[in-house]
Chains A and B, each alone.
Chain A
Amino acid sequence: MSNIPEQLRYAVSHEWIKVEGAVGTVGITDHAQHELSDVVYVDLPKVGAQAAAGSTIAVIESVKAASDIYSPVSGEVVEVNGDLVKKPELVNKDPYNAAWLFRIKLSNPSEIDALKDAAGYKALIGE
């Protein structure tokens, strides 16, 4: 049984977003980190990068493979989590807090409506 916080929204590609005003904080879910297993490297976007909803924004490498991470919303990256450079394993240990990946200024807040809520994500992953 994975952890699926109620207050977040979820993409079908297993990213979560916490929206506060015009800015969203994005990471990957507990289910996703469990599927990846040991994370060894995180390739984050540059501050200022423009993202389109559903486009590849980051790469998370586990021991065996590199996995694309998709931005759940469109906008401009305003901050990235530098802690993940030294401690990529935080993605496995604390996917919803310490291992946030980046913050993005939403250019189209209505895109949030297309994302799943906790119950919807739970159903998606069959739990």
Chain B
Amino acid sequence: MTDPANLQKTALFAAHQKLGARLVDFGGWNMPVQYAGILEEHKAVREAAGVFDISHMGEFFCDSHFGKSFLNQLLTNDVEKLSVGQGQYTLMLNEQGGVIDDLIIYRLPKDQYFLVVNASKIDEDRAWMEKKTPTGVSFSDQSGAYSAVALQGPKALEIARAFLGAGWTEPKRNEITSYSWNCQEILAARTGYTGEDGIELFFKNEIAENFFFALLEAGKPFGLKPCGLGARDTLRLEACLPLNGNDLSDKRTPLEAGLGIFVSLTKEANFPGKDVLLRQKTEGPQEKLVAFRLKDKGPPPRPHYLLFQGAAQVGEATSGAPSPTLGYGIGLAYVRTDCAAPGTELDLEVRGTRVPVEVVKKPFYKRAG
């Protein structure tokens, strides 16, 4: 267990302490796992709004003039499709087609691409990209300079409008706009990791604490609550959004993970792992990432719990938790393809006992409208 003194802190660390957050070591970062409580925070995001500190995530910038073709040869989705102000979910693979990281790439005005990567992969992503950057392309890791928050929930947009004011151009789903708040540039993207509508806001560290508290104040009348990483995990799991390190890894391809729509095998650009995926698409993957639920009340699934069909072990869970919205245990698991169809009944082994579960269609939760 790392000495808290050796953990990295975001620019909102003092704010979390002031708010009475329970802080934990999250991949080397000292982050809030909860404030009022995970169930209460989860409910706030589903019914009103929550704001998460996501400052630990990474922010890379790449010039787009020559950068476009470099990025299109690095990432699975088709960068050519992005017009100015648009973003797309995409993946960076190794030569075996395994996932190094999943990320969102946005095309900004003024000839720039903006990549938001997982906190745990900043150094690895940068090293991989630096090795491949051709001369003439400038790419920089600005993670240390940027903070970010995710404002998510049915009231998120109302709060953003009230807080940012009349001058703000509201982005449409997956779009990104730039805004000036107290003379500081804010990037606002209509993206998120909870299954609710919302905005992810990126800004320089210097304004982070002021921005965060001002946002909390503006959101109070709407029921806005600060939310930690505990609720972030239960929310994203209900929406079947994968977590790199659990559901995604360098040993699994995006096709096994069910993320084929974010992989362009038809684009001309060649990216690492493309040949592996082309073969796998023809043959079909041997295992697939499925969503499963407990059939009755019972212990929640957890990562690494094994799945059985009769006496045969057919899979292993990669994520699991109680679902606060649905009231039963849910999880994601890689299982043998012949056991992956929704409706398949399997057994989950929990502390030596077999508990009946069922494969279900994704997602577990989908917001109305």
What residues make up the interface of A, taking CB atoms closer than 8 Å to B? 37-38, 40-41, 43, 59, 61, 63-64, 66, 85-86
B322 within 8 A of A: yes
Q: Please give me the residue from chain A that is nearest to B298 by CB atom.
A: A41
Q: For the side of the interface on B, what is the size category? A: 10 to 19
Interface centre among A41, A64, A66, A85, by most B CB within 10 Å? A64
B34 touches A41 (CB 8 A): no
B interface list, Cβ under 8 A from A:
22, 33-34, 37-39, 230, 233-234, 297-300, 302, 321-322, 324, 351
- Knowing A37-B34, A85-B297, the reply to whether A63 touches B351 (Cβ < 8 A) is no
Residues of A within 8 A of B351 (CB): 43, 59, 66
Interchain CA distance A63-B302 in the complex, whole Å: 10
Q: Which residues of B contact A40 (CB under 8 A)?
A: 300, 322
17 further A-B contacts with Cβ under 8 Å, apart from A41-B300, A66-B351, A86-B297, are A38-B39, A40-B300, A41-B298, A41-B299, A41-B322, A43-B299, A59-B299, A59-B351, A61-B300, A63-B39, A63-B230, A63-B321, A63-B322, A64-B33, A64-B230, A66-B302, A85-B297
Cβ A63 vs Cβ B38 within 8 A: yes
Distance to closest chain A CB from B90 (angstroms): 29
The residues of A that contact B38 with a CB separation of less than 8 Å are: 37-38, 63-64
Q: Which residues of B have CB within 8 Å of A59?
A: 299, 351
Smallest CB separation, A48 vs chain B (Å): 17
- Dominant secondary structure at the B interface: mixed
Alpha-carbon distance A41/B22, docked complex (angstroms): 22
Residues on the B chain within 8 Å of A61, using CB: 299-300, 322
Q: How many A-B residue pairs have CB under 8 A?
A: 38
- Cβ-closest 5 pairs across A and B: A40-B322, A63-B38, A38-B39, A41-B299, A38-B37
Given known pairs A37-B34, A40-B322, A43-B351, the reply for A63 and B299 (CB within 8 Å) is no
Q: In angstroms, how far is the closest chain A Cβ from the Cβ of B353?
A: 9
A38 to chain B: which residues have CB within 8 Å? 37-39
Q: List 29 A-B contacts (CB under 8 A).
A: A37-B22, A37-B34, A37-B37, A37-B38, A38-B38, A40-B300, A41-B297, A41-B299, A41-B300, A41-B322, A43-B299, A43-B351, A59-B351, A61-B299, A61-B300, A61-B322, A63-B38, A63-B234, A63-B321, A63-B324, A64-B33, A64-B230, A64-B233, A64-B321, A66-B299, A66-B302, A66-B351, A85-B297, A86-B297
CB-based nearest B residue for A89: B39
User: How many Å lie between the Cα of A127 and that of B153 in the bound state?
Assistant: 39
Bound CA span A86–B297, Å:
8
B41 to chain A, nearest CB (A): 10
How far does the Cβ of B315 sit from chain A's closest Cβ, in whole Å? 20
CB distance from A49 to the nearest CB of B (A): 14
CA gap between A38 and B37 in the complex, in Å: 7
How far, in Å, is A43 (CB) from chain B's closest CB? 6
Whose C-beta in chain B lies nearest to the C-beta of A65?
B302
Bound state CA distance, A64 and B39, in angstroms? 11
**Complex Cα spacing A63 to B39, Å:** 8
Q: How far is the CB of B261 from chain A (nearest CB, A)?
A: 31
Would you give the shortest CB distance from B230 to chain A, in whole angstroms?
A: 6
**With a CB–CB cut-off of 8 A, which chain B residues contact A37?**
22, 34, 37-38
Report the separation of the CA atoms of residues A43 and B321 in the bound assembly, to the nearest whole angstrom: 16
Q: What residues of chain A lie closer than 8 Å to B234, measured between beta carbons? A: 63
Closest to A42 in B: B299
